[in-house]
Structure 1
Amino acid sequence: MSEKTPLLSGQGGYAPVPGAGGYQPQGGGYAPQGPYPPQGAYPPQGGYQGGPPPAGGYPGAGQPPPSGGYPGAPPGGSYQGGGPPPAGAYPPQGGAPPPAGSVPKFSGEMPNEDVMDDPNSQEAQPTAPPMEKMDNIGGYSNVGFNANVLPPPSYEDVTKEQPPTDRQAIQNVPTITEQDARESLLNFVSQHCCYGKGAAEDLKFLDLKSTSAFHYTLETYGEGRSTCWAYEPYTGQMIDGPQNGTAPGPWDIQASPPSLFQDYNQSFEVPHTASVKPCHDCFASGYVRCHRCFGRGRVRCSSCHGSGHTTRYHDGEHRRERCHWCHGDGRRECYTCHGHGMVVCKTCAGHRNLKCYIKLTVTWKNHVNDHIVERTPLPDHLIRNVSGQIAFEESNQRVWPINHFHEREINEASVRLIQNHQFPTERILMQRHKVRIVPVTQCLYKWKNTESDFYVYGFEHHCYAPNYPQTCCCGCSIL
């Protein structure tokens, strides 16, 4: 079998079977599934249509709303309709940002005097809504804004099956000739600018001792799932809330990796968990206090430090001149808010409202461990990077340890690695293991009065010659 032959050719991804009570395997394996969501599953095409949910709202950041409350807001302060809200209802204007030119003046607490301009001041980053204001979704009571890793549901332990009775036979690998060994050494010398090729051309071989290195590899392809609350600006998109049905369990949602044994992750909005909340950072106004001027709209001039004048040395004397940056005023308009003292809220991007929902993240990870048996001075890691003869290869949802290989250490490594490939927070979709036999030849030679050796390994005939005798072009040896 060629090492480049793909495994499981034409086999698609594996996905859990949704249904009540979590995952139930069928036939000892995983049924292939299509991409999420399948036709007829949630959410149905075109989104969900529904009315507002029961009262129970979100006043925003634990503080009272602006004077008069939110325009058109229901008592709970939350809108969960299946489509755009009705005219005059909350959220206002279907989540549209405030119209251009309507930036309000900041009227809250601010410094008594203009602050010194700091062009490097950092704007506050978006903050998550308070957890106590999130909806109570059945089956997701412990979800926060940080990822909550979910252990997979229990399913039948397929390792209780009997090991295969007919396993692939172990194959041998070819040996190399003296010509192959010399060409390998010459290629090695050509990669070192100060090595002379005379020794490689003139040396006499004393013996070629062919041995084999064994490389065992175990791969376990697992699927992990985590949930967390997520939010984004509400711009009028469809809202699939609890009024459309009960949210499915995190392991009941279908998801398939694009291919087996490849790391990949994908995120989904859990159906029936979304709602619209007024932005807690700006109190549904779309604006927050400017971080540069702290709401005053003006800052002290950084050129004259607020004096309105600067001193310039000209024609041998110091002259006091009016500052040309602030025109002698000592103050100037804040470049960030353009004098309004307010900037667009980064949390809601000026749309005043947030769409909050539970996000499911599915992570497919390929866990790989190996063991190398190599009993010459050749470093083990060199075996890992070359090709060899695939002597044994097997894949299954659960593989059984190798017990018929003629090298006992490989059998023991197979047992140990398979026992260690247990991942409590992941569902194992597929495993595969293989043994490669990599040819290694010790080449004993004599050049002038020097006897030494080098090693040729892999089907590529790579060379390892740490004791090459001609390490300088002129023929002398570097000590």
Structure 2
Amino acid sequence: MDPPSPDSIQPLSKRDAQQAFIKYASEKCCYSTKPAEEGVITLMETFDTYRYCLETFTETRTMERSQKPYFGEKIDTEQRTPPGKWEIPVNAPDFFHEGRHEVEVPHTSSVKGESPACPAVGLEDCGVCNGAAEVRCFVCLGRGRIRVFTVLIVSWHNNRDQHTVEQFSGLKMSKLDKVPGRMMFTDTGDMVHPVRNFSDPAVVQTSESFLRKHQKNLQSSKTCILKQRQTIELLPISKVTYEWREESHVFVVYGRNFKVSAEDYPAACCSCCSLM
């Protein structure tokens, strides 16, 4: 599936840029709002960029031996062939939601006449008084016998990789990590195909690279891929030049929620807010 063209995205208006700038300044404890309110915008440059994300939802199955105190209950003995780990039905959670589940494997139980920690009477030497008395064994709970069986451990994990294409507005890339963008493309399937015919070749290359990486690293005899999802978000970025008191300054408006970065704000009474 080819993603749509971003040509229909409207650029940020001067009015919206100034309103975002005023809001930014008003929320800083040591900023005067006069530069934001009185500054005259002289230039607006667009540096829109894209954030590509690939999610691969996997299921991993492992088996290990476990044990419990035996209370005389009927057991599913080892006299029949137990199923393989991928033959046991387990309900997975909703796709892309992580989880863990344990289930006892059929036909794997046996009873041991004594626990590994105590004789058959279910007592062991006390570790506090160095054996001067006996206490109930914590393994068999004093029963003297344990049930040994195999447990299937199933875990679901959402493996996520994302990449934001480099932009040259002067905005630090780290500021884009958590801001919401405009969703342009979503593709979900058992196995998705690389993005094709997108306007930014860096997105195409990232899609191909991430898919190769996930298919190589996330499939094994213990792990299988259940679902994949890839998305492309547009991150709007506008570099705004304005004049205030005959001097030129710059601020950047970015993200769908109009976040602002203004590292050279001209009316700050201290430097603490400018670092935020």
Say whether the fold is shared (TM-score over 0.5): yes
Q: What is residue 418 of structure 1 aligned with on the other side? A: 211
Task: Note the C-alpha offset of 1:201.
Answer: 1.5
Return the offset for 1:372.
0.8
| Aligned residue number for residue 456 of structure 1 | 253
Q: For 2:91 and 2:149, how far apart are their aligned partners in 1?
A: 22
Instruction: Supply the distance in 1 between the matched residues of 2:26 and 2:121 (Cα, whole angstroms).
Output: 71
Deviation at 1:198, TM superposition (A): 2.0
Could you tell me which residue of structure 2 aligns to residue 37 of structure 1? none
Query: Displacement, 1:168?
Result: 4.2
Matches within 5 A, 1:6-155: none
AA aligned to 1:286 is: G
Partner of residue 468, structure 1: 265
Q: Distance in 1 between matches of 2:77 and 2:179?
A: 55
Match of residue 12 from structure 2? 176
**Which residue number corresponds to residue 30 of structure 2?**
194
| CA displacement at 1:194 relative to structure 2 | 1.7
Question: Which runs of structure 2 are paired with 1:399-414 in the superposition (5 Å)?
Answer: 399-414=192-207
- SS of 2:60 mapped into structure 1: strand
1:355 aligns with 2:147: yes
CA distance in 2, matches of 1:420, 1:173: 32
More helix per residue: 1 or 2?
Answer: 2
What is the CA distance between 1:461 and its match in structure 2? Answer: 0.6
1:409 Cα deviation (Å)?
A: 0.8
Larger radius of gyration: 1
* 2:231 aligned residue: 434
Task: Give the partner amino acid of 1:204.
Answer: V
Moved over 6 A (4+): none
CA apart distance, 1:169: 2.3
- Equivalent pairs counted in the alignment come to 265
Query: 1 CA distance for matches of 2:180 and 2:71?
Result: 55
Paired residue for 1:382? 175
Equivalent residue, structure 2, for 1:253: 88
Give the drift of 1:272.
0.6
Match for residue 159 of structure 2 among 331, 342, 367:
367
Q: Which amino acid aligns with 1:214?
A: Y
Please say if residues 173 and 439 of structure 1, whose CA atoms lie closer than 8 Å, have aligned partners that are also in contact: no
Q: Give me the whole-angstrom Cα distance separating, in 2, the residues matched to 1:288 and 1:276.
A: 19
| Rounded Cα–Cα distance in structure 2 between residues aligned with 1:234 and 1:446 | 82
* Counterpart code for 1:401: P
Match of 1:234 in 2: 70
CA RMSD of aligned residues (A): 1.9
* Contact preservation (8 Å) 1:215, 1:383: no
After superposition, the C-alpha distances for 1:431-469 in whole angstroms (9 at most, x for unaligned) are 111111111111111111431211111111111111111
What is the one-letter code of the residue matched to 2:96? F
Q: TM-score, with normalisation over the residues of structure 1?
A: 0.53
CA distance, structure 2, for counterparts of residue 463 and residue 232 of structure 1: 59
Q: 1:236 to 1:382 in 2, by over 3 A?
A: farther
Residues 194 and 238 (structure 1), Cα distance of their counterparts in 2 relative to 1, 3 Å cut: farther
Distance, in Å, in 2 between the alignment partners of 1:236 and 1:466 is 73
Instruction: Check whether the contact 1:174–1:439 (CA below 8 A) recurs between aligned residues.
Output: no
Per-residue deviation, residues 61-106 of structure 1 (Å, max 9, x unmatched): xxxxxxxxxxxxxxxxxxxxxxxxxxxxxxxxxxxxxxxxxxxxxx
1:211 and 2:4 aligned: no
Match of 2:240 in 1: 443
Query: 2 CA distance for matches of 1:445 and 1:353?
Result: 82
Identity of aligned residues (%): 29
Q: Name the structure, 1 or 2, with higher relative contact order (CA <8 Å, separation 6+).
A: 2
- Looking at structure 2, the residues matched to 236 and 208 of structure 1 have their Cα atoms a distance apart, in angstroms, of 80
Task: Provide the C-alpha distance between the structure 2 equivalents of 1:405 and 1:193, rounded to a whole number of angstroms.
Answer: 43
Q: Indicate conservation of the 8 Å contact 2:196/2:204, yes or no.
A: yes
TM-score normalised to the size of structure 2? 0.89
Judging by fraction of residues, say which structure has more strand: 2
Q: Tell me the SS of whatever aligns to 2:174.
A: helix
1:24 corresponding residue in structure 2: none
User: For 1:109-159, what per-residue CA distance to the aligned partner results, in whole angstroms no more than 9, with x for missing partners?
Assistant: xxxxxxxxxxxxxxxxxxxxxxxxxxxxxxxxxxxxxxxxxxxxxxxxxxx
CA spacing shift, 1:191–1:233, aligned 2, 3 Å:
farther
Q: What amino acid does structure 2 have at the position aligned with 1:266?
A: H
Q: Aligned letter for 1:374?
A: E
**Counterpart code for 1:447:** W
